[in-house]
Amino acid sequence: MFLHSVNLWNLAFYALMVFMATLGLWDVFFGFEENKCSMSYMFEYPEYQKIELPKKLAKRYPAYELYLYGEGSYAEEHKVLPLTGIPVLFLPGNAGSYKQVRSIGSIALRKAEDIDFKYHFDFFSVNFNGELVALYGGSLQKQTKFVHECIKTILKLYKGQEFAPKSVAIIGHSMGGLVARALLTLKNFKHDLINLLVTQATPHVAPVMPLDRFITDFYMTVNNYWILNARHINLTTLSVAGGFRDYQVRSGLTFLPKLSDHTSALSVVSSAVPKTWVSTDHLSIVWCKQLQLTTVRAFFDLIDADTKQITQNPKKKLSVLNHHFIRHPAKHFEENPSIISDLTGTSMWVPVKVSKWTYVAYNESDKIYFTFPLANHRKIYTHVYCQSTMLDTNSWIFGCINSTSMCRQGVDLSWKAELLPTIKSLTLRLQDYPSLSHLVVYVPSIHGSKFVVDCEFFKKETRSIQLPVTHLFSFGLSSRKVILNTSGLFYNIELLNFGQIYQAFKISVVSKCSAVKEEITSIYKLHIPWSYEDSLTIAQVPSTTEIPVKLHIAQPENDSHVALLKMYTSSDCQYEVTVKTSFSQILGQVVRFHGGALPAYVISSILLAYGGQLYSLFSTGHCLEYATMLDKEAKPYKVDPFVIMIKFLLGPSELPKEIKIISPDLPILTIVLIIVSWTTCGAFAILLTYFYYMFKIVHLQASLTTFKNSQTVNPKHSRRSEKKSNHHKDPAVHPLRLSANDAEDSLRMHSTVMNLLTWIVLLSMPSLIYWLKNLRYYFKLNPDPCKPLAFILIPTMALLGNTYTVSVKSSKLLKTTSQFPLPLAVGVIAFGSAHLYRVPCFVFIPLLLHALCNFICSSGPCCFGII
């Protein structure tokens, strides 16, 4: 039926749209790197000790619990309270488990064992009963209040201890991070009860799917509070995103807004985190070993030696987080590092006067200081670059002030280095260090180890190469390339005109090497200067490497920085860099950033088709096919073309002889359903209404099929019936009767209404699922986002279930009703794309008007008189 209703050109267009949508979905769900996270394992059997809560608290929150994580002897020892460590509270997210604390808890326990429990952390976890808070926001406030009580309960467990904590650190996964931020909005909450907040894959900016007003209201309350009180919130907050592997929460939603220069918040993507350098999916972010190791190292560096708790110094907190999550200098963290270092002891001093130098260290018996005089190099070069493959944490590069060939003390430049997967590197602009006379590279005495140190002086313009990206609509058919002919160790490829989220490219790096006897590694780092979302690619050269290039955050309007491809190369190789547009990744970005609005566009298109059917009923007296009206009304310039992917699948005893708008059982059914809505769950009542309406349609379809079959078997009887029907033409004297044509028109109309009702049911499902999951705790859902809608929708659908086109097409209200879907379709897109819970409010308006058409007639008796 659908294929007969559209022409070939439209069908080809729809097929193209489906193909493009499929490409975009494939990029979102499969177009990312493989999972490179190492699994974190427990060395002993994990145990979760349930913390006994006060009776009033347990009664108030019967579905929630608090646990303490432990393993082996630690778990046994801490079954006897009070505790003596540093409290950390883990908050799971949507449908999350309190047992997700085990990865970071186990790693922290191993770290404490390594230092003989000089310090240790006690990891607590909240059991939210796996609530679907990303779909139903009615329990978010309840979770927040319970966490507040948990914090107070936890701190009481340390009462009387010498170093008793006064605050806790919180790790929140997904929506758990938002609940943690919401604590500050509580009236009686003391801000100093939290000393640190780390969130993992938490959508801070907006909900992924705004399915009810409680979610959006909760977000508005939390974000408005943090914005208005930005200068007074001293809580150090770190938000870690999973990158492109996390298709459930796109990383752009996890970035905390930078509200002022005094902000104490950091946001970073896991692919940019030093010593992690991998993208994580929404669940693996809590067990990814590389990321959890980084987090635990930061936690131990945050400890104040005097209080044996996490420091209260906000500057130190930010310094630690920057050290571990933003830029790691390949040195252990020091709060006040020594800038001046002694360069003494038995060692060799070797002067180096060349501009490019390489030293291979192997089984060195003596310490060696290689000195580079800077006076002559300043005249020719602007920068110096050094790298070392020895990834220890000792200082390795210094600057001498006013020295001849050697110095007793030097400025430790190692703190300005950057750790990468296979090297540590340092780039200095010479004019920034006018007082330095020499650069000193230190090679320690080693046995059995081999490493390489390289240094080179260069002019900035020889290592900065501009590469304009290809146009969006080049579709990958054209490309631009640069060739790196010089034998440098480091290049910056400036990706010009790249800063929008809808841009996506593939960069191909082809390396060709001469006389390579052993394996050489190159590193390609995509650096986005306006947000911490860098990604690294490691390549064994010679090779051909493809790098996907797209953004999580668009470039701010007032930002003039340029995205860079930083290339750490080999001097023995030549590199060819090619960039071209990736159309499939562009479609993926469209789905990633705008896919959540698809339901609104689909409903908007159905509304347009619905309006077309009502108008055809008014103008011609017949209701056209849904597919025909969808093809005619839902044009690409009106709605998203992807909505055409919806197919008309609804379809399966004698036709009703008389039309009854209000049957005797209809008021009873309506009252029962309203009572169900009031006493249980509005979404449940809507679902029951949906089944009732479906039964009416199926019954009508079956009746029509039976009638047609009997017409085929006994045509004389059919003609007699038709004559009898024609005899009763005056509705003033006789009730209206339903013909086969009227039944077909009614089916077409009911099918469209069924489509709209299906979307209302789908959008109300989250609260229904939440209610069913918690039915053992309470019978009535409170708060209930669907209850007001149910009160209006139930009587409306009860009337529509008994409505036929023959009783509507003579209504005075029909023309007005047919004109409403167009502005409502616009409203659905304008207000429903970002707030899906508002969509049903737009949908029920034409349904209500449609139902009222039964009671407002143009001439003759009122339709209400039809029995």
Could you tell me which residues are beta bridge partners of residue 361?
451
CA angle 686, 688, 691 (to 5 degrees): 110
Phi, psi of 146 (to 5 degrees): -65, -40
CB 212 within 8 A of CB 768: no
Q: Quick one: which of 155, 121, 178 has its CA closest to 302?
A: 121
Query: What letter does residue 644 receive in the DSSP assignment?
Result: G
**How far apart are alpha carbons 840 and 846 in whole angstroms?**
11
Cα first-last separation, the chain: 34
CA 516, distance to chain mean position in Å, is 44
CA angle 174, 138, 691 (to 5 degrees): 110
Of the residues 139, 174, 270, 425, which is catalytic? 174
Token pair, residue 445, equals 């005495």
Amino acid making up residue 89: L
CB 197 within 8 A of CB 235: yes
Q: Quick one: which of 463, 513, 472 has its CA closest to 492?
A: 463
**How far apart are alpha carbons 238 and 298 in whole angstroms?**
11
CB 403 within 8 A of CB 438: yes
Q: Quick one: which of 502, 505, 511 has its CA closest to 468?
A: 505
Q: Which residue has the tokens 């209504």?
A: 811
Burial call 111-123: b when 16+ CB within 10 Å, e when fewer: bbeeeeeebbbbb
CB 236 within 8 A of CB 321: yes
The three-state secondary structure class of 532 is strand
DSSP run (H or E) holding 792? helix 787-800
Please compute Rg for the chain using Cα positions: 35
Amino acid making up residue 155: L
Catalytic (active site) residue 174: yes
Q: Residue 411: count other Cβ atoms within 10 Å of its Cβ.
A: 20
Q: Quick one: which of 233, 86, 105, 232 has its CA closest to 166?
A: 86
**How far apart are alpha carbons 89 and 66 in whole angstroms?**
10
**How far apart are alpha carbons 697 and 736 in whole angstroms?**
20
Q: Any alpha helices (H) in 621-727, and if so which ranges?
A: 626-633, 666-679, 682-713, 715-727
Within 13 Å, how many C-alpha atoms sit on residue 433's CB side?
Answer: 25
**How far apart are alpha carbons 442 and 368 in whole angstroms?**
6
Token pair, residue 802, equals 């008994």
Q: Is 682 exposed, middle or buried (0-12, 13-18, 19+ CB in 10 A)?
A: buried
Token pair, residue 549, equals 């290039």
Within 13 Å, how many C-alpha atoms sit on residue 52's CB side?
Answer: 5
Amino acid making up residue 338: S
**Neighbouring residues of 713: CB distance < 8 A, sequence distance ≥ 6:** none
> Angle of helix 140-156 relative to helix 213-228, nearest 10 degrees?
60
Instruction: Tell me the helices (H) and strands (E) count for the chain, helix number first.
Output: 22, 30
Token pair, residue 838, equals 């508002």
**Catalytic residue set:** 174
